[in-house]
Every structure is written in structure tokens, then in C-alpha cells.
Structure 1
Amino acid sequence: MIRLSEIAPLTCRQDTKIADVLRRLSESSYLFLLVTDETGRLVGTITDGDARRAFLRGVRLDDSAAACMQREPIVGRVDEEDENLRRFGQIRARNAFLPIVDADGVISEVLYSSADVGQLSALVMAGGPGTRLGELTRSKPKPLLSVGDRPILDHILERLEQAGIHTIYVSVHYLAEQIEAFIAARDNAGTVQVLHETERMGTAGALSQMPEAARGEVLVVNADIMTKANFSAIESFHHRQGHDATIAVANYEVQVPYGVVRHTEDGIFQGIDEKPRQMFLAAAGIYLLSPQFTALVPPDRAMDMPELLNLGRSIGLRVGVFPIHEYWVDIGRPHDLENAMRDHIESERT
């Protein structure tokens, strides 16, 4: 446990836009903000999970912090040290915090502790042939295509290492020797071990090839995405919600190229919407799985992630979704790679 006495970086106002709340949470070492009024009095708290759950209820990025804050947070009181420690010890969260307030409700300090995300291992799925990229993957596997001056796989591994995950497995199949050579030459921050798929194992089958000791909680990441998603936030959200599996999802917008007719059940015209846009939550290629889920993967056949998730849900395991509002792109086609390279150049300039 530590005591945080510099309060200003941890606070926001009720009218702060949720987009700014998420930006500050992603840039902070902590996964919470304290909401105060104009006098500095505590009126609520927001965790990363609170903000993302609000999106699932339809709250938007330009809504205010008041739309997603906890209005009756647990607090401690100045000069009640023993009681504060007792309350803090009762908080069951990976990133536990307890604001300490004075008689006027003004924040004096915050008690805080964080569990080590390093308990997680990660599996990067890098075995696919990348056929939709055509000639680009004829002689080079998709995870080794460059965005900026580094391969996609290097960006992913660096992101995992920055989250404190130092036991990483990479499943390979197509042009496996190139990926293995890249990992061997890379300056890895932890252990990065290659798992060879002698046959294509699907998007979840390689979990069965991980050593038993590593098949606890596993963060599975596809090797064809570029993202700034906060892996530590996913882990915290997963535990706070009591999930057995958590699926990261990203907004995907589709525009219908025609006018869409609205009508009653008996065929009476009600109106027409010209080329409407529809928003869906798409699986983002990032999954956090409990041991109960990894134990369901058969050792002798291929399995895709939807089959595994549906199987777990059918036997009563709890599956949740984690909305990503940080940068994310799936590199499936040549124009996706071009967009990722352009985005990377722009981010380097800023």
C-alpha cells in the first residue's frame, strides 16, 4: 500500500468529457479518477471499468464524467487511521484505492495498492498465412510486415512488455522460421518462447500447446493488430467484474450504400433513411482467459475462439466484453496496412 498525497493529477470535474477521462486514465499509472466539485469536495469516483461499462449502456465519448461516475464511493476520514486501514483491507480489487477526506469532504490523500499484472502470461497468435494481403505475404509472414520501421509483432511484444507481462508465447505455422529468427534476434525484456503448430490449430487451439504451468490466466492477442489498448486495464476490468473470460471489442461502423425503408408490420411506409450508418462492437483480437477456459481447449484438434467462448458460456462460465476506445486497427488487407503506416507516421509527429 502507498499513500498518494499529490491529489490534483488524480481529479477531474463532473463536466469533464468522458473522452478526456479515458485519455487521462490511459496516460496515468493509476486506473481511477476522483470527481470533485468547484470547492474540491469529493462527489464521486471513476475507474477505467466504470467508463467502459458506461459505453455498453450507450453513453458517448462527448458525455460528461457524471454519466459514469460512482456517486457513493467508499471513503476514509482524516484522523481515523485504524478504521481507514480496515476499510481499505476490505476492498476486493486488483487496483484498490480509498480516498481520505476531511470533515468538509475535501480529499486529503488516497490509499492505493496494485496487484502485479506480471502474473499473466500471454499468447500471441502468429501462425496465419495472411492470404488477404496477397503478394505482401507471399514470402513474409504477416506479423513481420513493418509499420514504421518495426514489424507488427515487435509493436505487440513491446506493448505486452510495457504492461509487465514477461512470459510470452508466440504460436507460429506459416513461414515459422522467419518469426522464430526474429524473436531470437530481438532484445526481449522477458521470456518469449515459440510454439510450433505442425497443423493449423485455429484461433484458440494453440492454447493447448502451452506448458501446464503457464496455463493459468492467459492474455491472447492476435498478431495482426496495431493498438494502444491498455492491457493492464483489461486485466483489472476482468477481475473487478468477476469474469472467466473477457473479450476486447472495438467500434466498427458500416454504411449501407442504399436508402433504407422503414415500414410497419403490415407494409405501410414510414420513412426512408438515406445511406444510414450502423455501429457494431467487433471482436478486437484480444482475449483474457481464466484457467477454466484454457482447460476446455482439446489437445488433439483445431479450435477457433468463438467455439471456445460459446462452449464456456454453455457450461455457465461468465464472459464479459471490454470496449476499446484507444487506437486499434486490424491489418487484414493492403489498405489496412497503409492506414496503419499513415497513422504511425502521424503519431510519431505528435
Structure 2
Amino acid sequence: MSTLEQLFIDENATIRKTLEQLDQTAKRILLIAPEGKLKAVVTDGDIRRHLIRNGRLDAAVSEVATYNPKSVTMETRASAKEIMRQYSITALPMLNEQGIVESLLFANDLELIKKTDLAIPVVINAGGVGSRLYPYTKILPKPLIPIGDQPILELIMSRFQKFGCNDFHVIVNHKKNLIKAFFADSPKEYDLHFVDEDIPLGTGGGLSLLKGVLNDTFFFSNCDILIDADYASMYRQHKRDKNIITMVCALKNVVIPYGVINMSENGTIDSFIEKPEYSFLTNTGLYIVEPEVVEDLQLNESISFPEIMDRYRKLGKNVGVYPVSEKAWMDMGQLEELESMRKRLEINE
């Protein structure tokens, strides 16, 4: 199968299948093109909006696809840049005279995509003991555990730097002097500030130590995750929806390797499902947060960040979700996940 054909999907395919194919191709767009003739396109943004509306994963992709999409021919190819600019699209099919897809033009190939300059602060919670990664953390603090040639903390920061974020505030506690010493000796192209958490304050309480420091919307990240997604898109949605907090969530698909039995009230079998598949959104540990969240905390208050979110939900404030694909999220919270992250990064490199 050619590279182009890998971007074709049947309009009756499910949203779940579409997500899997978007993950595999990593092009953020698929084409509905029966016998090669362009009929519709579907993007990762279409899928994300569907999930935010609590749309079903077993729905047909035709429910979210864009029919009669923009396209160019070989003769009108010169207008591709202007069409992409005008309609804010990042990929454009090129068709022959019969409407058959010959290729896809991408905005980055046409030098239309410029480096995004978010320039907003990033707070990284790096104060945990990392007990699930023992015995690694017996010697090194979790933020300094190497993934390839770099510690995880440095890899996290590098992803934000790609989007113009260069102001980092790292909350440290366990073996904090080792962390500070490592970065003191490292050449830096960013501003790095350490925030000393003298007593454990949970996954959210360390933010209280930044009162009066953060005046803008900021990213808040755990120190054991990597997210390969569009951080600028996350920020735009957060602002557009007027959220006080946006949680970045990954769509997980889990196949139960057993037959699942549902019982009736009288003790007989009501239904039997062989190896069912379940899909759900799970918290990745990355958030976009408004500064008032920091100011509302009591100094040195021990609290988890999910508890903070729950407070605002109960007050009727907007706490939103930004979905990413399962493959966009890498977690090293446990030894098995740490090795999986290392292998994935080796393949990507």
C-alpha cells in the first residue's frame, strides 16, 4: 500500500478506527476517497471536537467529516498557499482532472507554518519521591532519570520550548540539591526558577508557593510525562472556552482478554461479551491553568490538583478537557512504562 493510500479511510469506519489510523499515519488528516476520488476529509481537530461534545466512539466518521473539501489541481497548485492561509487549513488534496487524489500538500512543506511563540510560563511539579520507580529513585530523583541521553525533566522542557515557552518554574523537594546542581552545570537557553517545597504539599499544593509570581495563564505538568501534541492548540481552546483549568486527557483503549459476564438479579447470566473493548479519557498530568487558581490557594496547603479542579467544578467554573490520542502521551510513572517510553523515543529518533 502506498503512503497516500494509507491516508484513505472508509466513511463508515468508526471514530475509534479513525483515531487509530490517525495515530499510525501521524499526518493529522485522513481522506474519504472511494476508488481514489475525493469525497471528504477528516482531521484530528474534527475528532477532538466530537469527543469534547461527548460523541460516541462507535459513531461513523461520516458524522464529523467535511464533505466537498477545498482542493487544488496541478494547474491551480500555485493557489494552495493562499487557500491554506484564507481557510486556516494545514493540508490540501491535489486532484487530477477526474477528481482522483494525486497527492497531499502540507502547510509545513510550503513553509506556511511559523514557529509558535506562546511565551507563557510553565510550572513543573518535580517534588515527588518517585516510589513507583524504585530502585532508580534510590539513587536519582525522578526528574533526573535519563531517557536516552537526557533526563526526563529536560525532555519535558524541550517540548515546551518548541512552542516558544522559555520561562520554567520547577517545584522541588526530594533530593532537590541534586536537581539544582545538575541544571547549574548545564548550558541553558531558557529561564529556570526552582521553588523549594520544604514539606510535601501534594500534586497541587506546591502551586501556593508561587503566589504573586504567576500573573498569566500557565501550563502545569507532572515531571514524569511527555505529551507530543500541539500546545498552541491547547492554549487556544482553553482561552476560547474561557476555562479556569483545562485538563489534557488521552483516549485509552483497553481490551479485556477474557469473556465478561453480566448477571441478572436471579443469578442467571444476563449477557456474555467475549473480549470487550472499552474506551475512556484519562488524565495525562498536563493542565492549562489561570493564575487565580494559585492566588486562591492557602500558603502551604496540602492538596492534590484533582481536588483543586473539583473545587472549581462545584463552584460552577469552567473546567474543560483537551483530548489527545493515546500515542501522544508517554508516562514513566512505573518501571514498565519507563522502559516503554525509552523504546518509543529510540524509534522516533
Task: Flag whether TM exceeds 0.5 (same fold).
Answer: yes
Q: Is the 8 A contact 1:167 1:191 kept in 2?
A: yes
For 2:55, the aligned partner's letter is R
Distance 1:255 1:115, change over 3 A: closer
1:194 is aligned to 194
Match of 1:337 in 2: 338
Partner of 1:317: 317
Equivalent positions of 1:124-273 (< 5 A) are 124-210=124-210, 212-254=212-254, 256=256, 259-273=259-273
Displacement after TM superposition at 1:135 (Å) = 1.4
Cα distance change, pair 52–134 in 1 and its aligned pair in 2 (3 A)? same
Alignment partner of 1:54 out of 39, 45, 50: 50
CA distance, structure 1, for counterparts of residue 314 and residue 48 of structure 2: 25
- Distance in 2, matches of 1:283 and 1:51, equals 18
Letter of the 1:54 partner, please give it: H
Moved more, 333-342 or 125-134: 333-342
CA distance in 1, matches of 2:57, 2:186: 42
Are the equivalent residues in 2 in contact too, given 1:145–1:151 (CA < 8 A)? yes
- 1:281-329 per-position Cα deviation (integer Å, ceiling 9, x unaligned): 2210101112343333221311211110000111111111111214322
| C-alpha contact 1:296 1:312 (8 A) present in aligned 2 | no
Query: Structure 1: where are the runs of 5+ without partners?
Result: 1-11, 26-32, 74-87, 98-109
Q: Amino acid of the residue matched to residue 235 of structure 1?
A: Y
2:15 equivalent in structure 1? none
Q: How high is the TM-score relative to the length of structure 2?
A: 0.72
Residue identity matched to 1:188: K
Instruction: Check the 8 A contact 2:118/2:232 in 1, yes or no.
Output: no
| Number of residue-to-residue matches in the alignment | 310
Deviation at 1:207, TM superposition (A): 1.5
Q: 2:10 & 2:240 partners in 1: Cα distance?
A: 26
Distance 1:34 1:261, change over 3 A: closer
* 8 Å contact from structure 1 (residues 14, 35) kept in 2: yes
Pairwise CA distance, 1:184: 2.2
2:31, 2:40 within 8 Å by CA — same for their partners in 1?
A: yes
Task: Using the TM superposition, give the Cα deviation of residue 130 of structure 1 relative to its aligned residue in structure 2, in angstroms.
Answer: 0.5
- Post-superposition Cα deviations, 1:13-58, rounded to whole Å, max 9, x if no partner, equal 8969556667334xxxxxxx798999xxx99887754321223413
Distance 1:117 1:236, change over 3 A: farther
Cα separation, partners in 2 of 1:43 and 1:187, compared to 1, 3 Å? farther
* Alpha-carbon RMSD: 4.2
Q: What corresponds to 2:302 in structure 1?
A: 302
Equivalent residue for 2:102? Answer: none
Structure 2 residue aligned with 1:328: 329
Equivalent-residue separation in structure 2 for 1:279 and 1:21 (angstroms): 16
Matched, 1:24 2:27: yes
On the 8 A contact 1:297/1:303 being kept in 2, the answer is no
Distance (Å, rounded) in 2 between the aligned partners of 1:273 and 1:13: 31
Partner of 1:7: none
CA shift digits 1:157-208 (9 cap, x unpaired): 1001111111111110000011112222333322111111011121111222
Per the normalisation by structure 1, the TM-score is 0.72
**How high is the sequence identity, in percent, across the aligned residues?**
27
Distance 2:212 2:64 in 1: 40
Q: Deviations over 1:103-145 (max 9, x none)?
A: xxxxxxx9x9999653421101111011111111012101111
Tell me how far 1:346 sits from its aligned partner: 1.8
Choose 201-210 or 256-265, whichever is displaced more: 256-265
Distance 1:46 1:294, change over 3 A: farther
1:68 is the counterpart of 2:64 = yes
Q: In structure 2, do the counterparts of structure 1 residues 317 and 330 end up closer, same or farther at CA, with 3 Å as the change threshold?
A: same
Deviates more, 1:48-57 or 1:121-130: 48-57
* Cα distance in 1 between the residues matched to 2:347 and 2:237: 30
Change in CA separation of 1:322 and 1:60 when aligned onto 2, cut-off 3 Å: farther
Cα distance change, pair 334–229 in 1 and its aligned pair in 2 (3 A): same
Q: Determine the C-alpha separation between the residues in 1 that align with 2:267 and 2:169.
A: 56
**Contact 1:117–1:235 (8 Å) recurs in 2:** no
> Retained in 1: the 8 A contact 2:249–2:282?
yes
Q: Give, in whole Å, the separation in 2 of the partners of 1:297 and 1:311.
A: 11
